[in-house]
């Protein structure tokens, strides 16, 4: 039998992870989507946070077609992506204690709101303290992380002084199923594992959660405030109406 190609190996690995998410996380996803819908009904605001590459899945649900207009990005300057120079500064900022409290205190987030915190490892000070401080302020917290980093045989130690992980400070946890190291493939002659998949499963978890939120709102007789693509006829007009109706809960418009 001919050896499978890397493209097949990677796609099979990604599909396998998505199947695990479907089979093992449906109940948690449903709970998370319902929590977001409850927040919308109660007049609360929605926020998403992620540092480094974990920010990609957070950014993916903010101001985009098919997503909830109410989802706002809670950004930490320098820790959002690799645009900061040097890129390693973002990783360093994730380990700074006290930064999360300063960010939350200067943000519009308040009691009654909901915050989704995305961190693959969940071990750094920034996501751990973001969850701790958010709950202390009265926010509901959904954590999207890999439980293997906190509970698996190869789990690295927490970098927070408490020794805890993101998963320890959330109302609901969604497990991305990614193994420690975030690399799905190995090959003879290649010294390091390669081909990351965390963005695939984490984005799927986020989209499934928002899909649950939208349908939950509809089932209660509430039209979910979804955005349409600006590249289809009527998209901009539709979005303008949503922005006008929910302007007090949309902060990327200010």
Q: Is the pTM of this model over 0.85?
A: yes
What average pLDDT does range 14-28 have in this prediction?
A: 98
What pLDDT score does 76 carry?
A: 84
d(CA 38, CA 22): 23
The pLDDT tens digits of the residues spanning 75-84 come to 888 788 777 7
At 201 the pLDDT is 98
Residue 2: pLDDT band (50, 70, 90) is low
Looking at residue 163, what is its pLDDT? Answer: 92
**Spatial separation of the C-alpha atoms in residues 141 and 171, rounded to whole Å:** 5
Of the candidates 144, 145, 120, 141, the residue with the CA atom closest to the CA atom of residue 130: 141
Task: Report, as an integer, the average pLDDT of 90-110.
Answer: 89
For 80, residues 6+ apart whose C-beta sits below 8 A from its C-beta are 51, 55, 59, 90
Residues 168-211 have pLDDT tens digits of: 999 999 999 999 999 999 999 999 999 999 999 999 999 999 99
User: Residue 57's CB: how many other CB atoms inside 10 A?
Assistant: 25
Closest CA to 29 of 39, 18, 21: 21
> How many Cβ atoms from other residues are within 10 Å of residue 74's Cβ?
25
């Amino acid at each position: 039998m001919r050896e499978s190609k890397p493209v097949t190996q990677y796609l099979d690995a990604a599909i396998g992870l998505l199947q695990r998410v479907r089979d093992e996380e449906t109940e948690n996803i449903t709970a998370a989507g319902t929590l977001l819908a409850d927040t919308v009904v109660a007049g609360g605001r929605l926020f998403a946070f992620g540092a480094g590459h974990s920010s990609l899945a957070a950014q993916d649900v903010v101001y985009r077609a098919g997503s909830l207009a109410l989802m706002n990005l809670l950004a930490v300057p320098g820790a959002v992506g690799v645009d900061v120079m040097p890129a390693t500064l973002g990783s360093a900022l994730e380990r700074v204690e006290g930064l999360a409290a300063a960010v939350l205190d200067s943000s519009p987030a308040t009691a009654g709101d909901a915050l989704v915190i995305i961190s693959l490892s969940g071990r750094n000070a920034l996501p751990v303290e973001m969850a701790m401080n958010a709950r202390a302020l009265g926010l509901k917290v959904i954590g999207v992380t890999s439980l293997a980093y906190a509970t698996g045989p190869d789990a690295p130690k927490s970098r927070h002084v408490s020794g805890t992980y993101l998963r320890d400070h959330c109302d609901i946890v969604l497990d991305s199923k990614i193994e420690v190291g975030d690399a799905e493939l190995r090959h003879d002659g290649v010294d390091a594992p390669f081909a990351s998949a965390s963005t695939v499963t984490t984005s799927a978890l986020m989209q499934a959660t928002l899909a649950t939120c939208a349908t939950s709102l509809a089932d209660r007789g509430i039209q979910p405030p979804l955005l349409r693509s600006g590249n289809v006829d009527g998209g901009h007009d539709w979005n303008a109406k949503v922005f006008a109706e929910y302007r007090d809960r949309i902060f990327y418009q200010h």
